[in-house]
Chains A and B, each alone.
Chain A
Amino acid sequence: MTLDIEAIRADFPILSRTVAEGKDLVYLDNAATTQKPQSVIDAMTHYYEQSNANVHRAVHTLAAEATEQYEASRDTLAAWFGTTRDNLIFTSGTTEAINLVAWGWARSNLNAGDAILITEMEHHADIVPWQLLAEEKGIEIRVVPIDTESDTLDMEIFSASLPGARLVCVVHTSNVLGVANPVDEIIAQSHDAGAKVLIDAAQAAPHHRLDFTAMGADFVAISGHKMCGPTGIGCLLATSESIEEMEPFMSGGDMIETVTMEKSTFAQGPQKFEAGTPKIAEAIGFAAAAEYLSNFDMDAVHSHIRGLAMYVASELKSVPGITVYGDHSVAEGSGVVSFLHDSVHAEDLARFMDAGGFAMRTGHHCAQPLLDAYGVTSTNRVSFYLYNTNAEAKAFIEHLRYIVERFG
Chain B
Amino acid sequence: MTWPQALQEAIDQFADVFDPMERYEMLFEWSSDVNELPVDEWNDANMIHGCQSQAHVMCHLEEGMFYMRGGADAQIVQGLMAITCLAVNGRPPEEVVEIEPTFVDEMGLKASLPPSTSNGYLNMFKRVQDEARLLMGDA
Q: Which residues of A contact B (CB under 8 A)?
A: 20-21, 345-348, 351-352, 354-356, 362-363, 378, 406-407
A46 to chain B, nearest CB (A): 32
B25 to chain A, nearest CB (A): 8
Residue contact B76 to A351, C-beta cutoff 8 Å: yes
Residue contact A347 to B20, C-beta cutoff 8 Å: no
Q: Given the complex of chains A and B, what is the CA–CA distance between A351 and B51 in angstroms?
A: 13
Q: Mark B20-58, 1 if CB is under 8 A from A, else 0.
A: 110111001000000000000000000000001100000
Residues of A near B19 (CB, < 8 A) are: 21, 355
Main secondary structure of the interface of B (DSSP, over half): helix
Instruction: Count how many pairs of residues, one from A and one from B, have CB atoms less than 8 Å apart in the complex.
Output: 40
Chain B interface, number of residues (Cβ within 8 angstroms): 18
Residues of B near A352 (CB, < 8 A) are: 21, 24
Residue contact A345 to B21, C-beta cutoff 8 Å: no
Q: Given the complex of chains A and B, what is the CA–CA distance between A363 and B21 in angstroms?
A: 21
Residues of A near B77 (CB, < 8 A) are: 347
Residue contact B24 to A345, C-beta cutoff 8 Å: no
Q: Given the complex of chains A and B, what is the CA–CA distance between A347 and B55 in angstroms?
A: 12
Q: Which residues of B contact A (CB under 8 A)?
A: 18-21, 23-25, 28, 52-53, 73-77, 112, 114, 117
Residue contact A407 to B74, C-beta cutoff 8 Å: no
Residue contact A348 to B21, C-beta cutoff 8 Å: no
23 contacts between A and B (CB under 8 A): A20-B20, A345-B73, A347-B53, A347-B76, A347-B77, A348-B28, A348-B74, A348-B75, A348-B76, A351-B24, A351-B76, A351-B117, A352-B21, A352-B24, A354-B20, A355-B19, A355-B20, A355-B21, A355-B23, A356-B21, A362-B52, A406-B25, A407-B28
Residues of A near B74 (CB, < 8 A) are: 345-348
Q: Which of A345, A362, A378, A407 has the most CB of B within 10 A?
A: A345
A363 to chain B, nearest CB (A): 6
